[in-house]
Amino acid sequence: MSLLERDKRSIWHPFTPLKGSPEPLPLVRAEGVWLYTEDGRKILDAISSWWVNLHGHSHPYIADAVVKQARTLEHVIFAGFTHEPAVRLAERLLQILPNGFSKVFYSDNGSTAVEVALKMAMQYWYNAGVHHKKKIVALDGAYHGDTFGAMSVGERSPFNAPFDDYLFEVEFLPFPACYHPSCCAGKRLSPAACGQVATLLSRFEQLAQSGEVAAFIYEPLVQGASGMRMYSAEILDQLLHIAQKYDIICIADEVMTGFGRTGRLFASEYCLHKPDIICLSKGLTGGTMALGVTACTDRIVEPFRQEDIMKTFFHGHSFTANPLACAAANASLDLLLQPQCLSRIAAIAQAHLDFEAHIREHRRVRQVRCMGTIFALEIETTQQTHYFNEARHHLYTYFLDKGILLRPLGNVVYILPPYVIAPAELQMVYDAIEVMLNELGAPSDTARNNAPAQQ
Ligand SMILES: *Cc1c(COP(=O)(O)O)cnc(C)c1O
């Protein structure tokens, strides 16, 4: 039986309809930005395998670190025990994180990092004996993961409709539609959009004034899953300023933006006001192993530091601080912090800006957005939402046939490459996108379409 037949019998793939989906591609290996298929093709991974890969696939330095760790201490219960890889990683993260964070709590992935952050914030007020702060505030279009707490603070999209009745109540603020620092000066956006920002701020202030808001959770500067939507650090700073004025815990979900994606190590570095809690995962191990981190400031830790056993944070996972994952993360950090890697990040950011300038006026382009190594292009379309869910699949296979892995979100084609991508490889991706736009022809009328993004 072929691998595909065996897969079809036994596997349920993520975010994949069981009927009508294209067959998965059997891979035999991967190296650098290239994925090698069973039938001898190679595919350029232009989205870092769902935004996780930083240094290319099967990186020998990370592989060696994992192998060495596997032969030394593969795993141990993390309640009552500790080990060098976990302590070293925590020390290093606390050094590079953009605030005086004081503790690291380990978990398994981005969703669990968010769950831990939410539970920490809720129990912070509980332990402090404050019972009127129960509301959580998030942004429209947010994506924070697929577990229940994470779904609750995320956009109520068609994807979690079956669970709507089970999600806790959250106050959603309108998304700050403009993204470029100059837009509020009227350079890039209509005044209406800037008016939206004023509405957003007063809405938040109003909520905050009630004294009932426990925490504010946000993806700093870029909302990934909702279509790489970007907003300015100035606006985020104003939101954080309001939150801090009213003693609201700020949770930065940097699961996607962390580790250099936005051009700096963390997106929160672009803001003056810093979060109290930060969530990390995806790039943490360079994309090699599953690992989540929730770091918090000393202020958050304080009400947990009590004799009363009932003030304990009763949360943990079987594989908390898995030594192999921590070893991979330490190795990935070694690579990330090298000058060569940081200059590759800057070079990718510049290449994106150059391509933005080149493609911005294309008749099929509605908007181009760049933030560090993230490039997103919204296709001008006249079709209905429904069409675009199909176009998305169409574009996905279109690019795959050309040997490039791109996975559009609705009508947004984005590039989020591993940092080791060579200039010529990046150019291949730009060229493929430009050819695709040319092949689309002219939009037939000016009707607007707001297709929901799809992961
Ligand atoms: C992917 C993502 C998550 C969820 O991470 P998983 O590891 O997939 O559970 C949470 N928040 C953001 C911003 C993400 O992009």
For 73-336, CATH gives: 3.40.640.10
Tokens, residue 303:
């009400």
Adjacent-strand bridge partners of 229: 223
Question: Using alpha carbons only, how large is the chain's radius of gyration in Å?
Answer: 22
Dihedral, CA of residue 335, residue 339, residue 340 and residue 345, to nearest 10 = 90
Instruction: Enter the DSSP assignment of 311.
Output: G
Task: Report the residue among 281, 285, 294, 317 best suited for mutation to probe ligand 1: largest number of ligand atoms under 8 A from its CB.
Answer: 281
Q: Which of 413, 55, 16 is nearest to 404 (CA)?
A: 413
* Rounded Cα distance, 179 and 267, in Å: 14
Q: How far is the CA of 287 from the centre of ligand 1 (A)?
A: 13
Is any ligand 1 atom within 6 A of the Cβ of residue 283?
Answer: no
Phi and psi for 151 in degrees, rounded to 5? -65, -40
**Mean pLDDT calculated for residue range 136-150:** 98
Instruction: Tell me yes or no: is domain 3-58+338-440 CATH 3.90.1150.10.
Output: yes
* Whether the predicted pLDDT of 389 surpasses 60: no
Domain ranges of the chain: 3-58+338-440, 73-336
Decide if 396 contacts 408 (C-beta within 8 A): yes
Q: Is 110 annotated as a binding residue?
A: yes
Is any ligand 1 atom within 6 A of the Cβ of residue 220?
Answer: no
Q: Is 56 annotated as a binding residue?
A: no
Q: How far is the CA of 224 from the centre of ligand 1 (A)?
A: 9
Is any ligand 1 atom within 6 A of the Cβ of residue 154?
Answer: no
Q: How far is the CA of 306 from the centre of ligand 1 (A)?
A: 32
**Mean pLDDT calculated for residue range 168-177:** 93
pLDDT at 361: 95
Chain segment 2-36, per-residue pLDDT in tens: 999 999 999 999 999 999 888 999 999 999 999 99
Is any ligand 1 atom within 6 A of the Cβ of residue 399?
Answer: no
* Residues sharing a CB contact under 8 Å with residue 378, sequence separation 6 or more, in sequence order: 227, 365, 366, 367, 368, 369, 411, 412
* Rounded Cα distance, 203 and 42, in Å: 50
Q: Residue 267: which pLDDT band, with cuts at 50, 70 and 90? A: very high
Adjacent-strand bridge partners of 368: 377
Q: What is the average pLDDT value for the chain, to the nearest integer?
A: 92
Question: Above pLDDT 70, what percent of the chain?
Answer: 92
* Rounded Cα distance, 142 and 154, in Å: 5
Q: How far is the CA of 225 from the centre of ligand 1 (A)?
A: 9
Is any ligand 1 atom within 6 A of the Cβ of residue 143?
Answer: yes
Q: At CA 41, angle to CA 39 and CA 45, rounded to 5?
A: 130
* Residues sharing a CB contact under 8 Å with residue 311, sequence separation 6 or more, in sequence order: 127, 303, 304
